[in-house]
Structure 1
Amino acid sequence: MTQTTRTEPTRRPPTAVRVAAGLLILVAAVAAALGLLEAFNVRPERAVVGIGSTILLVAYAVGLIIVARGLLRLRSWSRGPAVATQVVQLPVAYSFLGGATTWVGVVLGLVSITTIVCLVLPSSTRALVPHLLNRSD
């Protein structure tokens, strides 16, 4: 007797969701690179700070990659963490404004705003939380 498994038809994520996931992966790559740079520049007099920063940056990068993968697979759980990380990132971007780091703040802010907008567009909502749209209240 042959057993067949029923699989859900594969849906392709809307462009907005793919853009948001790509931006999360980009931020994750930068965070991982900064974490690795920090790891190789740990000085004995600030070992705890250096190791702690490395762990936080790499963990943040891994988390963002997991969330981006969830977005690309259209998992509804991934939308909340994706938006939340970008909302938290906005004040971080603001802290870079002024002086030589202004460009960092502008780029980080634009990435955050673009990601949030991509995830709240109607096409993204339909793809990521279709059960909310099919309710009859």
Structure 2
Amino acid sequence: MVAASLTAVEAFVLAALGVFELANLSSIRLTMGVTTSVFFLAAAAGLAWCAWSLWKVRRWARGPVVMAQLIQLGLAWNLWAGETKPLSVALAVVALVVIVGLVHRSSTEVLERESYG
């Protein structure tokens, strides 16, 4: 449940970034702003669906969520230098907590039980 909840928070943050990007559109970078917004909103929708599916104990959702966390760890690595270090640490901690939560023995047992009924 912790992993599903944190994944839902990540989806909310991505959606907020998409909305903020739309709110700050300018004619100079219209195409980039729109495509970035669409990407963030689509990623947020997918992550929210996965979070909901984890909450409902759907085994298939574990793979996409783990992949999203691995991407987030890569982003945290890229943000490690300078003023973005606190953001890097926050991203890495959340990603690691979600991954550990998904591979934890009790989570695996519940998700495996769902697939074999």
Q: Deviations over 1:29-71 (max 9, x none)?
A: 1111111110011111111110011001111111111000110
Q: CA deviation at 1:80?
A: 0.9
May I ask how many residue pairs the two structures share in their alignment?
116
Match of 1:54 among 24, 30, 37: 37
In the alignment, the residues of structure 1 paired with residue 43 and residue 108 of structure 2 have an alpha-carbon distance, to the nearest angstrom, of: 25
Large movers: runs of 4+ above 4 Å: none
Give TM-score scaled by structure 2 length.
Answer: 0.94
The equivalent of 1:11 in structure 2 is none
Match of 1:108 among 55, 71, 91: 91
Q: Which runs of 5+ in 1 are unaligned?
A: 1-17
In the alignment, the residues of structure 2 paired with residue 130 and residue 93 of structure 1 have an alpha-carbon distance, to the nearest angstrom, of: 33
Identity percentage over the alignment?
Answer: 37
Q: Which runs of 5+ in 2 are unaligned?
A: none
Whose radius of gyration is greater, 1 or 2? Answer: 1
Match of 1:127 among 83, 91, 110: 110
The equivalent of 1:96 in structure 2 is 79
Give TM-score scaled by structure 1 length.
Answer: 0.81
In the alignment, the residues of structure 2 paired with residue 102 and residue 35 of structure 1 have an alpha-carbon distance, to the nearest angstrom, of: 23
1:35 aligns with 2:35: no
